[in-house]
Amino acid sequence: MDFKSLLAIFLAAILTENYILNKFLGICPFLGVSKKLDTATGMSVAVIFVMVISTAVTYPIYTYVLVPNGLSYLQTVLFILIIAALVQFIETVLKKYIPTLYRALGIYLPLITTNCAVLGITMLVIDKGENYIEALVNALGSGVGFLVAMVIFAGIRERLEHNDIPKFLRGLPTTLVAASLTAVSFLGFQGLVDGMLR
Amino acid sequence: MEEKKSLWQEFTKGLIRENPVLRLVLGCCATLALSTSASNAIGMGLATTFVLICSNFVISLLRNIIPDTVRIPCYIVLIAGFVSFVQMLIEAYSPALKAAMGIYLPLIVVNCIILGRAEGFANKHKVLPSIFDGLGMGLGFTLTLFVMGCIRELIGSGTILGFQIMPTSYPGIILFLLPPGGFFVFGILMAITNRIAEGKGEPVSELGCAHCPMAGCCSISAQKEKGADK
């Protein structure tokens, strides 16, 4: 568990296993709030925040409470509950103690409860059998990957707004085809991390 | 007779006119991820349909009991319970399907179709219409996934449900089985749907707050409404 393997996990989570473009998790916010750069960044930062914190909380609960007691089938129910409670808690704490951060991120927090990216990462790190540090790095990397995809896309969509596109292709269809082309370019990173660091 | 007709309408609207994926734009994640082959698509579609019918049934039964302020957490717990149930069933009877669905099986919990229908339909309607709504929406979802799965499987590997359709010399465009193909096929299907809707004078599909399950407690939609009032 050296620095190199952690870096490999981090880069893989951003580039080769990008949450949006490769795993299709968090498509709703991706299509819904990527219209403007500032909302896209706000949403992604909130997602990074919640992803890391919920992984930090669910991982020990799964390993030290559910598994020793043979309750691992409760994973789905418990995780979604923990995430919902956690998001609520973060919202309250931010509102009380860090109002500036709350104003920036607060509006996105309720949306994140039912975001599959968050539930996805907490389950994925357990599926992969990563240890605690690796899991946290993976969560951070996946969050950053989400941010990268959202920011790239906000730029593309701001450009698309001004183009003359047939009416039935406007909006979602063009966005999806553009997402497809972006995903093709992200395929180019395949093997990069293995080749460089492992 | 009147009653029967409206139940039939609740059932059929989900198939085409209010197709959850192509018209309401719900549940995109699962659609994109599990449409790599027609059989995966059917598995995912039926699992979601089952959860949807159960959750619509229970939520509409309990619609007068669950307090309004804590309804979303209640719904999520109910749905998570049903999903765990399906998860264990599939694990017991079809480990291959479980392996193919992987992480997306537990993620049915956060599939917005289910919460969206609970919030948008089941908590306002009686039990029987809710069940039919769940059935129609679920089958509409399955149908869309199946069509996408067939297209991607046919172009990607020349087969449908494992049967060889294209001549064996057809090499298969692997790209269609990879993530970009999912986005592409989905985009094209969406364009076709929009074209048909446009011809009928209906609005194009849009990912907005109208069908989002979280619209009630989210301030983005509240802001938009304020903006619309001005």
Comparing A36-45, B4-13, B128-137, the range with the smallest average pLDDT is B4-13
Comparing A57-61, A63-67, A84-88, B57-61, the range with the smallest average pLDDT is A84-88
pLDDT of residue B124: 86
AA identity, residue B152: R
Indicate the residue of B73, B197, B213 with minimum beta-carbon distance to A84: B73
C-alpha–C-alpha distance, residues B29 and B110, integer Å: 10
Average pLDDT over residues B2-27: 79
Q: Does B190 touch chain A (CB under 8 A)?
A: yes
Phi, psi of B185, deg, nearest 5 = -60, -40
Residue-range definition of the domain harbouring residue B130: 2-161+171-229
Q: Scanning the structure block, which residue is given the tokens 């996946």?
A: A142
Query: Which H or E run contains B163?
Result: strand B163-164
The string of pLDDT tens digits covering residues B156-192 is 888 888 888 888 888 888 889 888 999 999 999 988 9
pLDDT of residue A138: 93
What is the overall mean pLDDT for chain A? Answer: 86
Average pLDDT over residues A91-117: 80
Contact assignment for B111 to A21 by CB distance below 8 Å = no
The string of pLDDT tens digits covering residues B81-131 is 999 999 999 989 988 888 888 888 888 888 888 888 888 888 888 899 999
Count Cβ neighbours within 10 Å for each residue of B28-45 and write b for 16 or more, e otherwise: bbbbbbbbbbbbbbbbbb
For B:105-134, CB contacts with A below 8 A are 106-107, 109-112, 115
What is this structure's pTM? 0.88
Two structure tokens written together for A179: 């997402």
Q: What is the gyration radius of the CA atoms in chain B, in angstroms?
A: 19
DSSP state of B202: P
pLDDT of residue B4: 63
Residue-range definition of the domain harbouring residue A27: 3-197
The C-alpha of A35 sits at a distance from chain B's nearest C-alpha, in angstroms, of 11
Contact assignment for A111 to B84 by CB distance below 8 Å = no
Indicate the residue of A84, A114, A123 with minimum beta-carbon distance to B103: A123
Contact assignment for A27 to B29 by CB distance below 8 Å = yes
AA identity, residue A75: Q
The string of pLDDT tens digits covering residues A25-61 is 888 778 877 778 888 888 888 889 889 999 999 999 9
Could you tell me if residue B166 is inside a domain? no
The answer to whether A173 and A165 have CB atoms below 8 angstroms apart is no
pLDDT band at B228, cuts 50/70/90?
A: very low
The C-alpha of A16 sits at a distance from chain B's nearest C-alpha, in angstroms, of 12
Residue A179 has pLDDT above 60, yes or no: yes
Q: Does B12 touch chain A (CB under 8 A)?
A: no
The string of pLDDT tens digits covering residues A145-163 is 999 999 998 888 888 888 8
pLDDT band at A1, cuts 50/70/90?
A: low
AA identity, residue B79: I
Two structure tokens written together for B67: 């307090």
Task: Tell me the pairing of strands B159-160 and B163-164.
Answer: antiparallel
CA closest to B188 among chain A residues: A173
Average pLDDT over residues B226-230: 46
Contact assignment for A107 to B218 by CB distance below 8 Å = yes
Number of domains in chain A: 1
Residue A190 has pLDDT above 90, yes or no: no
The string of pLDDT tens digits covering residues B196-222 is 888 887 777 776 666 666 666 565 565
Q: In terms of pLDDT, which residue wins out, A103 or A69?
A: A69
Could you tell me if residue B137 is inside a domain? yes
Number of domains in chain B: 1
pLDDT of residue B230: 39
Contact assignment for A183 to B195 by CB distance below 8 Å = no
